[in-house]
Each structure stands twice: as C-alpha cells, then as structure tokens.
Structure 1
Amino acid sequence: MITKVLLNESGETGIYYDERGRPMLASALVRDAKFQDRVVAETAPSW
C-alpha cells in the first residue's frame, strides 16, 4: 500500500490517505480558507 501511495500514478497532489490507503478529506479546519490565510500570515518569513 505504501508503494501505491508514494508512486501516486494519478499525478494528483495534496491527497490525504487513511490507514488503509484510501483517499480521504483533510480536517474541516485545514480546508477552511480563513485558517489557511492565518497560517500563511503567521508562518511566512518577514524579510
């Protein structure tokens, strides 16, 4: 199963897998656009 996940022949990115190797959704928090913006704002380097 790990080989299938690592090779990802579909070419898709950002896929989460459950313990059986089946694609699954990320948590609701991770899919929230406002949360994503907050994470970027708080972790981006301030050069």
Structure 2
Amino acid sequence: MVNGKLMILEIEKVRNVWNDVKDILSVPHTDKQYKKLVKVLFQKS
C-alpha cells in the first residue's frame, strides 16, 4: 500500500526534525527563531 509507505516516510521526517524543533521551542520565541523553524522543516522535506 503506497499510502502506508508515505505515512512512514513522513513520520521518519518528523522524527528527524523533532530535536531541532524542541531546541527552537524550548527558548523564548523571536521572529528569527520562527524563520529558523520554518527553514529546518522545509529543508528536511
């Protein structure tokens, strides 16, 4: 099933960025940090 495989790939992607996301979210938010978060998420996808 293709959908199942795609789902697993998405989960793997999320797992890969989770540490980056946690680092960014653990500190007070600034515009720069939001931009970094977006960059990290789209970079890995």
Work out which of the two has the higher radius of gyration on C-alpha atoms and give 1 or 2: 1
TM-score computed with the length of structure 2 as normaliser: 0.32
- Greater percentage in helix: 2
TM-score computed with the length of structure 1 as normaliser: 0.30
Highest RCO, 1 vs 2 (Cα 8 Å, sep ≥ 6): 2
- Greater percentage in strand: 1
